[in-house]
Amino acid sequence: MSLRELPPEQGVRRDRWRRLRYVPLAILVVCSLVAAAVGYVVRLHLDELAQASRAAPLEPVATADPDNRLPEEECTPAVEQPADQAWTSERSAASEAVWAAHAANLSQPYVVGRDDWVFWGDIQAQNFSQALGRRVLTVSEAQAWRDYLLHLRDGLADQGIPLYIVVAPAKWAVYPQELPDWTDDIRGSSALDQLLAANPDLPFVDVRAPLRAASAHTPTYSRLNSHWTDYGAAVAWGAISSCIATSDTGLSVIGLPEVAGVVTSGDNNEFAEWGRTSPEPDWTTPAFTDPLLPVVVSIDGGEAQTWSGDRRIGLGELPAETWTEGAQVDASALVVRDSFGVSLSPYIHQSFSHTWQVRHFYDYPPEQQPNILKLAAQDRPDVVILEIAQRHLIFPPPIP
């Protein structure tokens, strides 16, 4: 062995180190591949999230079940849409700038419109953003509503029970002309318009058109309340019952009792604590040609009491069960509702001999929401009416 040669054991060790020096490079290559794969998956997931969080489209879609629709003229008459979509087009940034410029107008729990009309601000279910179309349904929210309502419609159909979905319009949907003048150029369509466009096969009842028509001569909403008045509810029930009567021959005689006139008062001011007042009384209540039939009512399973026919069932009195002898039809209805159902309740009692009424609680955690299919299987109503305040559409419920 020469002086330049290494001992055999050292030569082996040198070869081993020559091989090992490539290990960090291999690890780096593997890590790069893993990072690329993870990056692709994350990017794909973010793309999916971005797509799901985009506003749902407004264009009507075709349905695979075109025959499974309510009659359009009676149930979903056309409602004029804004000429331009200020929040879902290239104008969205400019619209947002107008919104920001009116921060002072939006600083209270309410927003003052034209002619002393008062609207809830975003403190109440993002109400004012919904009024302008600034807050609409995302793709995922619209899909959640479709999944839930299809589950409900088909589950009830399996029990032989028809479903009618009534979205009670917000005040701004019936009186858009009373919104503040600074909003004129930044209005778009609403979550209700999105749902109607995307779900022509679902049994929606849209009462905006008849309410707008009636509002031309008599107030259907008050300046100082976000709900329809008793008269507005009567107009709505006239439209709802017409849709049901046209769709179901067994219920063809239901309708609004004959109205002889309208009484006006200054009641039901939701904004009194902020000192808001109306220039004139505008809470309207119908006067009927014949007295409404008395109604037997049980609140939350309690002792049955006889009420006058015009007495309303408040939101805090639910669940409730009613019986009306001599009602328009000897049939029953399960009514799942919210505060808009308060003024609606007397007219429902005149149409159906037996009702069950529960709160939907869509604006509360899911565990508080009723299982409508289970209630229907228990009570066996002839029809289910689901009434949802328009502002609650941003709370799509999960399938129970």
Dihedral in degrees, nearest 10, Cα atoms 50, 54, 60, 63: 40
Dihedral in degrees, nearest 10, Cα atoms 86, 206, 73, 348: -170
Please indicate, yes or no, if residue 13 is contained in any of the structural domains.
no
Neighbour tally for 116: CB within 10 Å = 15
Neighbour tally for 286: CB within 10 Å = 24
Which single residue is written with the structure tokens 């049901």?
A: 244
Query: For the chain, how many structural domains are there in total?
Result: 1
Per-residue tokens: 149:
């309502």
CA 381 to chain centre: 24
Please indicate, yes or no, if residue 49 is contained in any of the structural domains.
no
- Can you give the pTM of this predicted structure? 0.86
Q: Identify the segments of the chain with pLDDT beneath 50.
A: 1-13, 17-18, 20, 34, 37-38, 40-50
Per-residue tokens: 309:
């026919």
Please indicate, yes or no, if residue 39 is contained in any of the structural domains.
no
In degrees and rounded to multiples of 5, residue 10 shows phi and psi of -75, -35
pLDDT, tens only, 181-192: 999 999 999 999
Report the pLDDT value the prediction gives residue 400, as an integer from 0 to 100: 83
C-alpha gyration radius of the chain: 29
pLDDT, tens only, 127-157: 999 999 999 999 999 999 999 999 999 999 9
Please indicate, yes or no, if residue 50 is contained in any of the structural domains.
no
Please indicate, yes or no, if residue 100 is contained in any of the structural domains.
yes
Q: Which domain holds residue 93?
A: 68-394
Amino acid at 241: S
Per-residue tokens: 65:
């079940």
Euclidean distance between CA atoms 299 and 304, whole angstroms: 8
SS3 content of the chain, % helix, strand, coil (to 5): 40, 15, 40
Please indicate, yes or no, if residue 115 is contained in any of the structural domains.
yes
Report the pLDDT value the prediction gives residue 28, as an integer from 0 to 100: 56
